[in-house]
Structure 1
Amino acid sequence: MTTYAALLRGINVGGNKKVPMAELRALLQESGHGAVRTYLQSGQAVFTSDHGDEETLAAELTAAIERRFGFSADVIVRGHEYLRAVAEACPFPAADLQPKQLHVTYFSAPVDAARFAGIDQPAFLPEEFRLGDRVLYLYAPDGLGRSKLAEQLSRPRLTKDLIATSRNWNTVLKLVEMTAPAHP
């Protein structure tokens, strides 16, 4: 049995694409998954499954959401080991920063630096970004809402053919904790 986190993109934002967390938990349970929990209202669910891989589970959940709620929502599914590795590989001094200053954008597939080569990073300092394994780490000292670099990074041409969904550092760490194997 593997524990996964499902990251839903663009739900419960501005009154659009409403997915109540109780209904999301029920949907995952009805789909045969166990130990279902959600975190916040912004689209994180943790569950156990003994069938499928991350891509298959994401596709199944995407289809189930569309059937249940009548709209499409992009979903990325990742297991504990990956989530832990992402947190451990952070290129910024996370322990020294406020959680609102550090964000991780999870991608549905690997990305290479060439995709972001057109961004003049020095022009955005002190904001910075670094790529990792299917993730982008963003340091935005004034928070995401004021970040000019985040605005550039979210342009459709940079995320073409990808699902991309961002989480703040508190959520990144909470998902690592929630997906960790239980110890007796």
Structure 2
Amino acid sequence: MTTEGFNLRWHYKLPMDLHSLLDEALKLKRLKRSGWVQRGLLDPESVAAHSWGVAWLAVILCPPQLDRLKVLEMAIIHDLAEVRVGDITPRDGVSSERKQKLEREAIDELLSGLADAPAVLSLWEEFELGESAEARFTRVLDKLDMGLQALHYQVAEEGDVQGILDSALKSVSGSGFEYLLEGEEE
């Protein structure tokens, strides 16, 4: 496969800024999900692994009336700010207002050199606020992936994850996906 004919530099205002953004985003592969770390799991999943899980769920579960590409984009970017602020959980004692402010500042800074920053920021904000059917669906997938990971850890007896599983079940209630977390066939 060749990239001949593609001008990839239009995406970023300065070439070095693109390298910095890509390098920083790659750190999500090493950033462990705090909820699992706080529960003492030996091999907690990374934020990037979680985002991949949400994207995979989007591919296989997105209903035809929703814009799958938009759902996928939201799945991929929804936790990007965590590369700067960390994976803040309720156990951290940070108010939701403070968390939102920190994440907004981080995402603004991360994407500041991106030519398409307004579109990416708009998607991120739409997800955060749950403003569209796609955003609400992606938010359900976010919690569904968390619950599926909790089930994985529970079956492997890697730690006490019942609280996270209960939270995920509550969050996906009414979505039609509850059975995936309850171990029952639909």
Q: What's the TM-score, normalizing by structure 1?
A: 0.29
Higher helix share: 2
Larger radius of gyration: 2
Higher strand share: 1
